[in-house]
Structure 1
Amino acid sequence: MPSPQAVLREATDRRLLEEVVTRGRVTRAELAATTGLSKPTVSEAVRRLTEGGLLEATGAQETGRRGRVGTFYELGPAAGWVLAIEVGQSGVRAWSADLAGAVLREHERPAGAEVAAALLSIASEAVTQAGEGILRAVAVSMANPVDPGTHDVIALPDSPFPEGLMSPADTLAGVVAAPVWVDNDVNLAALAEQRAGGAVGVSSFAYVFVGPGLGVGLYLGDRLIRGAHGLAGEIGYLPGAGSGTLAAELAAGIGGPDAPSNDVETALRMLDNGDTETLGCAVARAVASVTAVVDPELVLLGGPVGCHPALLEPVRAALPPSPTRLEYGTLGTLASLHGATYSALEHARAAAVRVMSA
């Protein structure tokens, strides 16, 4: 077990690394001022981070005054990079990003290819293009529920994405040496909206995904709620207005009683043509089921159908009176990929400091 001093040093180093990432380029004096840490503590931490390659000195601060000149620091050459991957019915997409979150390269394999092969191909491509850079973490967004303890994908009846019932960690084991973190796409979309989207500063909100399937990401009390088994938010299995489920009701409203649950293109055409009542009422029932149970401050609509500009007002009109606000998510159909990036970055920064301190 590490000593209390080692734990404190690691926490200090992590805090300063996060501050450099946020500010981009900063002096030790600025770090001391913004964190409230003493100048000697900051100087020692910056020395450790610089010697570990996570930071580098990039020039003198021009103050225009006599006296000691400060030195700017920013992310160093050994900071490494992360890989965020989204696996869904539209294909496999990925971003390689540095530890500040700047996207370095984009990767994509369209739908139709075997999912595991597409995932493996993208990871191999990203590692090859990165050269000698250190891959710190991989985060994979899956269009299926994921066990929060084991990161295994969970099979559910009538899954709209049966091709995604696979183990990303096992698939990538021979290609990436970094830890692989796996989460549900709706959870990651909610994470992204909380970090940099429509739910910034909101402690309790729900993200309702409408697309190939129906699901909810829940943030309650500033915590992402996954449930004991990773099944929190699987509202598509709730009873609908008839004898079927909410997901079946939504699918039937789009294409008839025998329609598949993933008929996104038909739903988008309906909305384009002004046929909004059926979808609006079905989505409103899903939203009402969430607000009645958890009473969030805000509900965001997302997913390829949920983001359609014609859907919001019909859903509002069909909802019973409630103090909960209903808005669109602001990150669009890339929300889960943004969420995977944030997840990878959080794990990568912690791991980079931990390895340096070892």
Structure 2
Amino acid sequence: MTRERASLSRELPQSVLRTGTDARLLAEVIARGRVTRAELATATGISKPTVSESVRRLVEAALLDATGPAETGRRGRVGTFYELGTAAGWVLAVVLDQSGVRARSADLAGVIRHEHTRPPGKPGDSAAVVSGLRAVVQHAQEAIGPERGPLRAVAVSVANPVAPGSREVVALPGSPFPEGLVSPAEVLAAVTGAPVLVDNDVNLAALAEHRSGGAAGADSFAYLHIGAGLGVGLYLGDRLVRGAHGLAGEIGYLPGAGADTLAGELSAAGFGRNDVDAVLNLLSANESTARSRAIGTLSAGIARAVASVTAVVDPGLVLLGGPVGTHPALLEPVRAAVAARSPAPVRLDHGVLGALAPAHGALHLALEHATAAAVRAAG
């Protein structure tokens, strides 16, 4: 142990050190699938006695299972292997938007165990959103059953802004999803005691691209969603920027050309909430005047949004996301339009997770919260 690490060990409370060790070893087991204590010590550099104590705590907390002795691959050596506990618990990721309610259940390794979908109600029908949200959580709990342990977190992606402190959905004029102005935590209080984590769909899509998508390894990038609504998820210095009221990235409210806002301009041109499928069909059609006009209008609007973001924060990467933003017909025209407007070169590409990005982000959020809380409880 270096002097710096030894000094740090003396300064930190033992409970903090135990939690850090447990979290690291649990992550290592999840990554490897099945491993011995000796292999954990070798892989992490943590002493064998410390590894043994940590594994004991994790087994007692049902986070790990001892799967019995087996050959280690070294002559004459037999070791006990450990893997993620079958009753370690699970998480639920829910996406709430104009297309309905979609839920994914996963174990703490992120392996999907169950999926369920509820169709949308009529536009403006908040009661349908509430009943759909409760139904998917109840259905998931019944489908998973008690043998996999407790439901440790529910993460809900909402197609509306979310206040950073309270995690309440924020009402804005002209919202493309007004029926989604509900409180998921209050709605689900009657059906689960698990923590309910709520965030904006664009922020969660950016989180997913940052963790395992097109922005992996980037410490500054912008994720631009173009679909029924417009929004930007912005990472600076490896941290998501939310703003004081959760409204950072609401680019639909940027000034438009000949309209009050950019969103209003695009909606007036036929690219609003109820036009997404028609726009996608138009972009995929054979060459036509209408298709060329649509590409030109969309590219110009998207380029103004990108230029505004890059002029203020200068991210190292801009990803286009959402059902319209990821259409292949738009990438090169947007690149050309941005190059004509931006004072500096802009690295611009598509996100790689497509329409499932918010679902992936909600799952990342739920897993990170659940494993951290489970390890703290084990210590």
TM above 0.5, one fold? yes
Which whole-Å CA distance do the structure 1 matches of 2:18 and 2:40 have between them?
16
Which whole-Å CA distance do the structure 1 matches of 2:351 and 2:160 have between them?
20
1:157 to 2:169 alignment: no
Query: Equivalent residue for 2:143?
Result: 129
Q: Secondary structure at the match of 2:329?
A: coil
Query: Equivalent residue for 1:217?
Result: 233
Which whole-Å CA distance do the structure 1 matches of 2:151 and 2:73 have between them?
40
Aligned counterpart in structure 2 of residue 66 of structure 1, from 55, 69, 75: 75
Aligned-pair CA distance for 1:300: 0.5
Which whole-Å CA distance do the structure 2 matches of 1:324 and 1:21 have between them?
37
Query: Equivalent residue for 2:207?
Result: 191
Query: Unpaired segments of 5 or more residues in structure 1?
Result: none
Which whole-Å CA distance do the structure 2 matches of 1:326 and 1:227 have between them?
24
Query: Equivalent residue for 1:202?
Result: 218
2:71 and 2:77 in contact (8 A); partners too: no
1:294 to 2:323 alignment: no
Query: Equivalent residue for 2:366?
Result: 344
Q: Secondary structure at the match of 1:289?
A: helix
Which whole-Å CA distance do the structure 2 matches of 1:317 and 1:270 have between them?
21
Query: Equivalent residue for 2:7?
Result: none
Query: Equivalent residue for 1:237?
Result: 253
Which whole-Å CA distance do the structure 2 matches of 1:125 and 1:261 have between them?
29
1:251 and 1:262 in contact (8 A); partners too: no
Which whole-Å CA distance do the structure 2 matches of 1:108 and 1:243 have between them?
37
Aligned counterpart in structure 1 of residue 376 of structure 2, from 346, 354, 357: 354
Output the TM-score relative to the length of structure 2: 0.89
Q: 1:323 to 1:26 in 2, by over 3 A?
A: farther
Q: 1:64 to 1:187 in 2, by over 3 A?
A: closer
Query: Equivalent residue for 1:24?
Result: 33
Q: 1:234 to 1:99 in 2, by over 3 A?
A: same
Aligned-pair CA distance for 1:261: 4.0
Q: Give CA deviations for 1:195-230 in whole Å, capped at 9, x if unaligned.
A: 110001111000000001100001111111111211
Corresponding residue pairs, total: 351
Query: Equivalent residue for 1:323?
Result: 345
Q: Secondary structure at the match of 1:218?
A: strand
Query: Equivalent residue for 2:5?
Result: none
Query: Equivalent residue for 2:48?
Result: 39
1:253 and 1:279 in contact (8 A); partners too: no
Query: Equivalent residue for 1:7?
Result: 16
Q: Which has the higher helix share?
A: 2
2:214 and 2:352 in contact (8 A); partners too: yes
Q: Secondary structure at the match of 1:219?
A: strand
1:283 and 1:315 in contact (8 A); partners too: yes
Aligned-pair CA distance for 1:78: 2.7
Aligned-pair CA distance for 1:316: 0.8
Aligned identity (percent) is 67
**Residue identity opposite 2:233 in structure 1:** G
**Residue identity opposite 1:347 in structure 2:** H
Which whole-Å CA distance do the structure 2 matches of 1:250 and 1:269 have between them?
17
Query: Equivalent residue for 2:59?
Result: 50
**Residue identity opposite 1:284 in structure 2:** A
Which whole-Å CA distance do the structure 1 matches of 2:74 and 2:247 have between them?
60
Query: Equivalent residue for 2:333?
Result: 314
Which whole-Å CA distance do the structure 2 matches of 1:24 and 1:206 have between them?
34
Aligned-pair CA distance for 1:183: 0.3
Aligned counterpart in structure 1 of residue 283 of structure 2, from 246, 271, 296: 271
Aligned-pair CA distance for 1:262: 4.2
Aligned-pair CA distance for 1:67: 4.0
Query: Equivalent residue for 2:116?
Result: 107
Aligned-pair CA distance for 1:4: 1.2
Which whole-Å CA distance do the structure 2 matches of 1:262 and 1:237 have between them?
19
Query: Equivalent residue for 1:120?
Result: 134
Query: Unpaired segments of 5 or more residues in structure 2?
Result: 1-11, 123-127, 286-290
Q: Give CA deviations for 1:320-342 in whole Å, capped at 9, x if unaligned.
A: 35322110000000000000000
2:114 and 2:144 in contact (8 A); partners too: no
